[in-house]
Amino acid sequence: MKRIAVFASGSGSNFQAIADAVENETLMAEIQLLVCDKPGAKVIERARKLNIPIFTFVPNTFASKAEFEKEIVNELEGHSVEFIVLAGYMRLIGNVLLDAFEGRIVNVHPSFLPAFPGKDAVGQALEANVAETGVTVHYVDSGMDTGPIIEQVKIPVFPGDTRETLQERIQKAEHQLYPAIINKLLQKDTVGGIVQ
């Protein structure tokens, strides 16, 4: 089974969905490490309950992104991590991690990319008054939600939707789609670092 690390910054609902999928064996992987840039985040409690090792750090205590990413890579290597899954990690990935895990970092984003990249995609969709948005799973590159798209689903935006109601539907879709896509990616052979 592939050894993965999950990166998260917030409550960890996608982390929990991934952990649940591992537990019920619909995702054939082992979560070796949670990486979190917010030492007080709720996702840390979730990882503790599951006895998953945790690496937390405070970015502004490092001289640069490269410095804290070197620490992260050391942790990942120490836990023999083969694949990185971003699940609400609110930070752009830099060259240190991209070089160390080329073609082996994926993210889930709460919109139908390329629409509404970056923060507050749900708010952006509501502000734009669109009829639909979505969920996108994509490989990570140095841009803001610009990596190659792996899978997408559309989510309708209903009249009267609030941020909470739309986000709830998007998260429900994420929790189904993301573990399934991660499992497909991990079951395939990797060729030249890119999953074929």
Q: What is the pLDDT of residues 168-192, one digit of tens each?
A: 999 999 999 999 999 999 988 444 4
- The rounded distance, in Å, linking the Cα atoms of 119 and 12 is 16
Which structure tokens are listed for 8? 């998260």
- The rounded distance, in Å, linking the Cα atoms of 87 and 89 is 6
**Cα Rg for the chain, rounded, in angstroms?**
16
- The rounded distance, in Å, linking the Cα atoms of 151 and 38 is 28
Q: Is 50 buried (19+), middle (13-18) or exposed (0-12) by CB count in 10 A?
A: middle
Residue set of the binding site: 12-14, 65, 90-93, 107
Q: What is the rounded average pLDDT for all residues in the chain?
A: 94
The range of the structural domain enclosing residue 81 comes to 2-195
Nearest CA-CA partner of 191 in 65, 103, 116, 130 = 103
Domains in the chain: how many in total?
1
Question: Considering the chain, what percentage of its residues have pLDDT values greater than 70?
Answer: 96
Q: What is the pLDDT of residues 113-149, one digit of tens each?
A: 999 999 999 999 999 999 999 999 999 999 999 999 9
Residue 109 known to be catalytic: yes
User: Among residues 79, 109, 138, 175, which one is catalytic?
Assistant: 109
pTM of this structure: 0.93
Cβ proximity of 103 and 193 under 8 Å: yes
Q: How confident is the model at residue 58 (pLDDT cuts 50, 70, 90)?
A: very high
Residue set of the binding site for (6R)-10-formyltetrahydrofolate: 65, 90-93, 107
For residue 188, the model assigns a pLDDT of 80
Query: Which residue in the block uniquely carries the two structure tokens 């984003």?
Result: 109
> Which CATH number does the domain housing residue 55 bear?
3.40.50.170
| Helix residue ranges, H only, 121-162 | 121-128
